Amino acid sequence: MAEIDGATLIARSLKEQGVEQVYGIVGIPVVPVASACQREGIKFFGMRNEQAASYAAQAASYLTGRPQVCLTVSGPGMVHAIAGLANAQSNCWPMLVLGGASDIDQNGMGAFQEAPQVEAARPFSKYAHAVERVERIPYYIEQAVRTSLYGRPGPAYLDLPGDIITGHVEEEEVVWKPRVPAPPRTLADPAAVRAAIDLLKMAERPLVVVGKGMAWSRAEEEVRAFVDKSGLPFLPTPMGKGVVPDDHPSSVAAARTYALQNTDVVLLLGARLNWILHFGLPPRWSPDLKVIQVDIAAEEIGTNVPAAVGLVGDGRAVVHQLNEVLDEERWQYPAETLWWSGLRNKIAQGKATSDELMASEAVPMNYYRALREIRDAIPRDAIIASEGANTMDIGRQVLPNFFPRTRLDAGSFGTMGVGLAYAIAAAATFPDRRVICLEGDSAFGFSGMEVETACRYELPITFVILNNNGIGGGPNVHDTNPLTASPRAYTGQAHYEKVIEAFGGKGYFVERPEEIRPALDAAARSKMPSLINIMIDINANRKKQQFAWLTH
Ligand SMILES: Cc1ncc(C[n+]2csc(CCOP(=O)(O)OP(=O)(O)O)c2C)c(N)n1
Ligand SMILES: [Mg+2]
């Protein structure tokens, strides 16, 4: 009779469940797990901090559509990965975190790195469990993957004690589990679909908001068809960008504030009325707003504003239902209305202000001038990972996305430290796509050492830092006194580009607008990652808005 060990069983179960990428850091007791994964043909990416590993694993999950894995050691390693569990939970992204744990045999004895890991994971996970018998490893991995993927996605956590990883079992005792099929696509109540279209027909100032739920459910064709057939104005949430190309004529993203404030009926497609959409409440929205909500999670319907119509189901399937009713009724929102002309005026006003900022040749540069160079240099299908405060917010306005799932940013949890990890996952998942990692200088610091990871695997990411000496800009004075130094300030004129050179990447220090494009073009030709550190004005800000974007 043949015996099989825990680590091999873990790796084979992951392979069976469609896992292709593992991001992590090895040590006691998970070294054999990483090796077993590689033996089964699963890629292992050694990262520099488990936070970043957990961010990379969830971005890879979102991009591939199947849960990918973060592997950690026990105790401190697992605790670092809780940052990723929380971030994935907030974004509704799947992922599987496998935490090594001290031996079951030593429970309660003060074992090396012993910690209450399952309890710690639970409030941030959709599923959290410990494996207590070697033969049940495939059972738990299947259950974790299925729970993570089905319904509203979210992270799953499994605790793997050392004696489970090194334990052996007779192969015939193993409880094998087949691969979890793609999630079943659920349909909304047909009567509610009709009610939704009826309400849209009666609306004077209708608006569609496209959320990242549509990107997750691969609803891009259906959503584009809906926007075309209905003639309705739409705007995307930050990571809903690209489901419909940003240059679509019905996009009113550039009139966001006006659109939210004045619409009377909003159709939310896989977008929640949380802080990103200002809760659906006045003063950012009309007090008489009527909400039509499409969501995979029934309990989301009615959050903050009671829904006039709730459509519960898979994003792609439900938008298909909406399209069928539109086809039957041959209805389209008129192209010439007061609503459209109001929106178009606001778009034109906003464009004039941005164009002016983008045309400035002042040194030091403002954000818009630097971002214009990036906008003009990158291919349409580039993937943009981004974080920071102004860097991220202005970058979202200036850099268009034309394809779904091409924008990865601080997201629903507003997490700094995700950018480099997201870029690594994007480059690992799509080796032929250009990956731009656009960072504020503060944001870069959180996971900055991951440039070593990018260099080691020769992932030709272009890292761009918009450097204003700190969090939202720091003063140019060097103050060593913790009682007086600005809490926002970091080292002035810091040469972050030198960090990547330590690992064989290419660094650029840029102070003038005309230096940006040559650096971007050289980065595009390089097989190694590059880092372009762009000094910008410490007083540069976003253009004046009625409401500051309440990101932070
Ligand atoms: C993990 C975490 N810690 C702290 C913050 C608070 N925070 C929000 S934005 C930001 C950095 C903004 O500065 P920078 O990245 O330099 O962008 P800038 O606005 O200067 O362009 C920080 C620290 C956060 N969102 N997440
Ligand atoms: Mg900054």
Mean pLDDT of 498-522: 98
| The overall pTM is greater than 0.85 | yes
pLDDT category at 167 given cuts 50, 70, 90 is very high
The predicted-structure confidence for 473-489, as pLDDT tens digits, reads as follows: 988 889 999 999 999 99
Mean pLDDT of 116-127: 98
pLDDT at position 241 is 98
Ligand 1 near 467 CB (within 6 A): no
Ligand 1 near 494 CB (within 6 A): no
The predicted-structure confidence for 361-394, as pLDDT tens digits, reads as follows: 999 999 999 999 999 999 999 999 999 999 999 9
pLDDT category at 549 given cuts 50, 70, 90 is very low
Q: Is the pLDDT of residue 242 over 70?
A: yes
Mean pLDDT of 68-73: 99
Mean pLDDT of 294-306: 98
Mean pLDDT of 9-13: 98
Both structure tokens of 142: 């299947």
Ligand 1 near 471 CB (within 6 A): yes
Mean pLDDT of 430-456: 98
Percentage of the chain beyond pLDDT 70 is 98
Q: Is the pLDDT of residue 267 over 60?
A: yes
Query: Ligand 1: which atom is nearest the Cα of residue 394?
Result: 21
How many Å lie between the centroid of ligand 2 and the Cα of residue 532?
A: 14
The predicted-structure confidence for 81-109, as pLDDT tens digits, reads as follows: 999 999 999 999 999 999 999 999 999 99
Percentage of the chain beyond pLDDT 90 is 97
pLDDT at position 548 is 47
pLDDT at position 551 is 39
How many Å lie between the centroid of ligand 1 and the Cα of residue 417?
A: 9
pLDDT at position 476 is 83
The predicted-structure confidence for 286-297, as pLDDT tens digits, reads as follows: 999 999 999 999
Query: Ligand 1: which atom is nearest the Cα of residue 473?
Result: 20
Q: How far apart are CA 268 and CA 232, in angstroms?
A: 13
pLDDT at position 477 is 87
pLDDT at position 535 is 98
Q: CA–CA distance from 492 to each of 378, 438, 456, 466, 489 (Å)?
A: 29, 19, 29, 13, 8
Which of 387, 398, 442, 538 has the most ligand 1 atoms within 8 A of CB, as the residue to mutate?
442
How many Å lie between the centroid of ligand 2 and the Cα of residue 385?
A: 16
Ligand 1 near 120 CB (within 6 A): no
Q: Which residues contact 285 (CB under 8 A, 6 or more apart)?
A: 260, 261, 263, 266, 278
Query: Ligand 1: which atom is nearest the Cα of residue 552?
Result: 8
Mean pLDDT of 218-237: 98
**Count of alpha carbons within 13 Å of 113, Cβ hemisphere only?**
20
Q: Is the pLDDT of residue 552 over 80?
A: no
Q: Is the pLDDT of residue 550 over 50?
A: no
State the average pLDDT for the chain.
Answer: 97
- Three-class SS of residue 530? strand
Q: Is the pLDDT of residue 546 over 60?
A: no
- Three-class SS of residue 456? helix
Mean pLDDT of 20-46: 98
Both structure tokens of 136: 């049940």
Ligand 1 near 412 CB (within 6 A): no
Ligand 1 near 534 CB (within 6 A): no
Mean pLDDT of 177-206: 98
Ligand 1 near 443 CB (within 6 A): yes
Nearest CA to ligand 1 atom 9: 389
pLDDT category at 544 given cuts 50, 70, 90 is low
Q: Which residues contact 129 (CB under 8 A, 6 or more apart)?
A: 118, 140, 143, 144, 157, 158, 159
- Rg of the chain on CA atoms, in Å: 24
How many Å lie between the centroid of ligand 1 and the Cα of residue 158?
A: 31
* Beta-bridge partner residues of 437: 385, 463
Nearest CA to ligand 1 atom 3: 416
pLDDT category at 541 given cuts 50, 70, 90 is confident
Mean pLDDT of 50-60: 99
Mean pLDDT of 302-326: 98
* Ligand nearest to the CA of residue 391, numbered in listed order: 1
Query: Ligand 1: which atom is nearest the Cα of residue 414?
Result: 25
Both structure tokens of 216: 């997750």
* Ligand nearest to the CA of residue 442, numbered in listed order: 1
pLDDT at position 1 is 74
